[in-house]
Chain A
Amino acid sequence: MSVNKSKPVYSPLHADAAGRFHILLGYAEGGDALSRVLGELRTEAPDSLGRTRVLLAGTPIAPFVDPGLAGVQGFGTLGELLAECRSLLERSSMGTRVYIAGPEHFIGRVLQIALEFNLNPDEVRTEAQGTLARRVHCVHCRATTEEVRTNRTRCSGCSRWLMVRDHYSRRFAAYMGVMVDAEAPGELPPLEEIYP
Chain B
Amino acid sequence: MNDAQGIPVVVKAVEQVTPLIRHFTLGAVDGGPLPAFSGGSHIIVVMRAALRTHRNPYSLLSSPRRRDIYEIGVRRMEESRGGSHFMHDQVEVGSRLEIAHPVNLFGLDKIARKHVLIAGGIGITPFLAQLEDLHGGQVPYELHYSVRSPEHAAFLHRLQDREGGRLHVYFDSEGRSIDFDALLSAQPLGTHVYVCGPAGLIERVIATARGYGWPDSHLHWEQFSAPPVGEAFDVFLARAKLKVHVPPDRSLLESIEAAGVQAPYLCRGGVCGFCHTRVLELEGELLHNDHFLSDADKARGKSIMPCVSRARCTSLVLDL
Which residues from chain A sit less than 8 Å from chain B, CB to CB? 18-21, 89, 92-97, 117-123
Contacts of A93 on B, CB cut-off 8 Å?
185-189
Interface CB pairs A-B, < 8 A, 17: A20-B213, A89-B189, A92-B189, A93-B186, A94-B213, A94-B214, A95-B185, A95-B214, A96-B213, A117-B189, A117-B190, A118-B109, A118-B113, A119-B189, A121-B217, A122-B215, A123-B215
Check A20–B212 contact: CB distance below 8 A: yes
Given contacts A94-B189, A94-B191, A96-B189, could you give 9 more A-B pairs where the C-beta distance is less than 8 Å? A93-B185, A93-B187, A96-B213, A117-B190, A118-B109, A118-B113, A118-B190, A122-B215, A123-B215
Measured between C-beta atoms, what is the minimum distance from B134 to chain A in Å? Answer: 16
Which interface residue of A89, A94, A97, A121 has the most chain B CB atoms within 10 A?
A94
Contacts of B214 on A, CB cut-off 8 Å?
94-95
Q: Which residue of A lies closest to B190 (CB)?
A: A118
Contacts of B210 on A, CB cut-off 8 Å?
18
The 4 A-B pairs at the shortest CB distance, nearest first, are namely: A95-B213, A118-B190, A20-B213, A122-B215
Measured between C-beta atoms, what is the minimum distance from B287 to chain A in Å? Answer: 31
Q: Which residue of A lies closest to B110 (CB)?
A: A118
Check A18–B112 contact: CB distance below 8 A: no
Q: Give how many B residues have a beta carbon under 8 Å from the other chain's beta carbons.
A: 21
Q: Is B66 at the interface (CB under 8 A from chain A)? A: no
Q: Which residue of B lies closest to A97 (CB)?
A: B213
Docked pose: A123 CA to B74 CA in angstroms = 38
Which interface residue of A19, A93, A96, A121 has the most chain B CB atoms within 10 A?
A93
Contacts of A118 on B, CB cut-off 8 Å?
109, 111-113, 189-190
Contacts of B215 on A, CB cut-off 8 Å?
18, 120, 122-123
Contacts of B190 on A, CB cut-off 8 Å?
117-119
Check B113–A117 contact: CB distance below 8 A: yes
Which interface residue of B187, B210, B213 has the most chain A CB atoms within 10 A?
B213
Proximity bits, B172-186, A CB within 8 Å = 1, else 0: 000000000000111
Measured between C-beta atoms, what is the minimum distance from A96 to chain B in Å? Answer: 6
Docked complex: B160-216 residues within 8 A CB-CB of A = 184-191, 209-210, 212-216
Q: Is B218 at the interface (CB under 8 A from chain A)? A: yes
Contacts of A89 on B, CB cut-off 8 Å?
189
Contacts of B209 on A, CB cut-off 8 Å?
94
Given the interface contacts A93-B189, A94-B184, does A120 sit within 8 Å of B218 by beta carbon?
yes
Measured between C-beta atoms, what is the minimum distance from A170 to chain B in Å? Answer: 12
Check A19–B213 contact: CB distance below 8 A: yes
Q: Which residue of A lies closest to B186 (CB)?
A: A93
Check B218–A94 contact: CB distance below 8 A: yes
Check B218–A18 contact: CB distance below 8 A: no
Check B217–A94 contact: CB distance below 8 A: no
Measured between C-beta atoms, what is the minimum distance from B243 to chain A in Å? Answer: 45
Measured between C-beta atoms, what is the minimum distance from B200 to chain A in Å? Answer: 22
Measured between C-beta atoms, what is the minimum distance from A34 to chain B in Å? Answer: 19
Contacts of A92 on B, CB cut-off 8 Å?
188-189
Contacts of B113 on A, CB cut-off 8 Å?
117-118
Proximity bits, B103-117, A CB within 8 Å = 1, else 0: 000000101110000
Docked pose: A118 CA to B214 CA in angstroms = 13
Contacts of A19 on B, CB cut-off 8 Å?
213
Contacts of A95 on B, CB cut-off 8 Å?
185, 212-214
Q: Which residue of A lies closest to B188 (CB)?
A: A93
Given the interface contacts A93-B189, A96-B189, does A122 sit within 8 Å of B212 by beta carbon?
no
Given the interface contacts A20-B212, A94-B212, A95-B212, does A120 sit within 8 Å of B189 by beta carbon?
no
Docked pose: A94 CA to B191 CA in angstroms = 7
Contacts of A117 on B, CB cut-off 8 Å?
113, 189-190
Contacts of A123 on B, CB cut-off 8 Å?
215, 217
Measured between C-beta atoms, what is the minimum distance from B214 to chain A in Å? Answer: 5
Check A122–B189 contact: CB distance below 8 A: no
Given the interface contacts A18-B210, A118-B109, does A94 sit within 8 Å of B216 by beta carbon?
no
Measured between C-beta atoms, what is the minimum distance from B131 to chain A in Å? Answer: 20
Docked pose: A118 CA to B139 CA in angstroms = 12
Q: Which residue of A lies closest to B211 (CB)?
A: A20
Contacts of B187 on A, CB cut-off 8 Å?
93-94
Docked pose: A22 CA to B311 CA in angstroms = 45
Docked pose: A82 CA to B95 CA in angstroms = 63
Docked pose: A89 CA to B188 CA in angstroms = 9
Docked pose: A21 CA to B185 CA in angstroms = 11
Q: Which residue of A lies closest to B217 (CB)?
A: A120
Q: Which residue of A lies closest to B112 (CB)?
A: A118
Docked pose: A119 CA to B190 CA in angstroms = 6
